Amino acid sequence: MKRWPFCIVGLVAAFSLAAVAPARAGSSVDIQLHVGDRYPGTDIVFHHEPDVVMVPSSRVYYVRDYD
């Protein structure tokens, strides 16, 4: 019978601490992907859109008649 007062005091203390300092949760996600080095050459510039042709039965394109 002497345990009941200690249990009650413990529950009251736990509830009072929970009411004073509510729990806070946070989350974050960060993804960074670096593949290889940056192209060290000059800027690549197109003066007009190149004429591309699709290779039959594939998803590959190539530039026709280009030096």
Q: Flag whether the pTM goes above 0.85.
A: no
Residue 27 pLDDT level (bands cut at 50, 70, 90)? confident
Residue 19 pLDDT exceeds 70: no
What average pLDDT does range 12-18 have in this prediction? 69
1: pLDDT strictly greater than 60: no
Q: What is the pLDDT of residue 37?
A: 82
Looking at per-residue pLDDT, the higher value among 3 and 54 belongs to 54
Instruction: Residue 20: count other Cβ atoms within 10 Å of its Cβ.
Output: 7
